[in-house]
Structure 1
Amino acid sequence: MALQILLNLSLALIWMLLSNEYSFGTFLVGYFLGVVLLYLFRSFLKVDIYFSKVVAFAKLVVVFIKEMIIANINVAKIVLSPKMTAKPGIIAYPTELKSGIEVTLLASLITLTPGTLVMSFSDDQKVLYIHTLDIDNKEAVIAGIKETFEKGISEVTD
């Protein structure tokens, strides 16, 4: 992937030099032409184009922002309600992520979302213990995390 980025930046620089116009706009045009060329010649590079990882990362950021907004609204409802109806609890979340950085990123995203906090990991880092402010259905919470954060992290790192 680093080779692709370097190649793309080199193509953008060559485009800028051949155009004989040294501006950011010309560099940007060369960069996007480089992305197109890398896409067309991806079979020779024997790896997937790196730009798909950038798109997957952008999707993960959007999912995180959406989940954060939803969680903020839910926490505000709990805090502002006259009666305490929240049922806090701790769940054991089994993860399918493999590397330590993936698990750490998942734990960080969960902790940054209001109403949830990763308290601990299992010794093999395959289970996260999560405290939730309001838990009605443990399976729904686990499925929600798997479909949002874990799926997004897998798309970025695979």
Structure 2
Amino acid sequence: MRRLLPHPIVTPVLAVIWLLLVNSTGAGHILLGILLGWAIPFFTLQFWPDKVTIYKPLTLLRFTAIVFIDILLANFIVARLILGSPSRLKPAFVAIPLALKSDIAISLLANTISLTPGTVSALLTADHQHLVVHALDVDDAASLIAAIKERYEKPLKEIFEKC
């Protein structure tokens, strides 16, 4: 079964993403979404180095909700900062020490940071020990690091790494 359906979670997710992109639930689009959802993981199987294991699915749901809320709130905060006094912004690069070891978890952390307005992942050090993040307005680098580690890194560690 695993050979025919290599990533059973990714397949329906890709099908739903397809339906959202085409903005249609017609039978043809549903069938094409399912076909793409199966074909993309099937033909890219050689590029997936390890099987992805989700240790805590409920934590994944909670993490997803937190990320959506943070993206929404960050949009308003960035708009207020830009429309307010852009000359008072304090942009900075901050190196975040990583407790994550899994490549998928590190990748999701970097992508989550980049998806949240006002921050972008700039560099993962060669030893995978630090993620350099650029933030639009940094009053206290330590509090930014603590927030990222608590809100994003900690749940990702629970989800993707066996503790």
Q: TM-score, normalised by structure 2?
A: 0.63
Partner residue, 1:74: 77
Q: 1:135 aligns with which of 138, 143, 154?
A: 138
- 1:113 and 2:116 correspond: yes
Q: 2:127 aligns with which of 98, 120, 124?
A: 124
The answer to whether the 8 A contact 1:120-1:129 is kept is yes
Moved more, 81-90 or 143-152: 81-90
- 1:87 and 2:105 correspond: no
RMSD of aligned residue pairs (Cα, Å): 2.0
Q: 2:107 aligns with which of 99, 104, 107?
A: 104
Q: 1:148 aligns with which of 151, 154, 157?
A: 151
Quick one: distance in 2 between partners of 1:52 and 1:92?
28
After superposition, give the CA deviation of every residue in 1:34-82 in whole Å (9 maximum; x if it has no partner).
Answer: xxxxxxxxxxxxxxxx997221110010110121122111101111114
Quick one: distance in 2 between partners of 1:76 and 1:139?
24
Equivalenced residues, count:
110
Letter aligned with residue 130 of structure 2: V
Q: Which blocks of at least 5 consecutive residues in structure 2 are unaligned?
A: 3-52
Q: TM-score, normalised by structure 1?
A: 0.65
Query: Whose radius of gyration is greater, 1 or 2?
Result: 1
Letter aligned with residue 62 of structure 1: A
Q: Which secondary structure does the structure 2 equivalent of 1:84 belong to?
A: helix
Quick one: structure 1 residues 77 and 104, their matched pair in 2 at CA, closer, same or farther if it must change by over 3 Å? same
Quick one: distance in 2 between partners of 1:137 and 1:56?
28
Matches within 5 A, 1:7-26: none
The answer to whether the 8 A contact 1:93-1:128 is kept is yes
- 1:60 and 2:97 correspond: no
Quick one: distance in 1 between partners of 2:133 and 2:54?
33
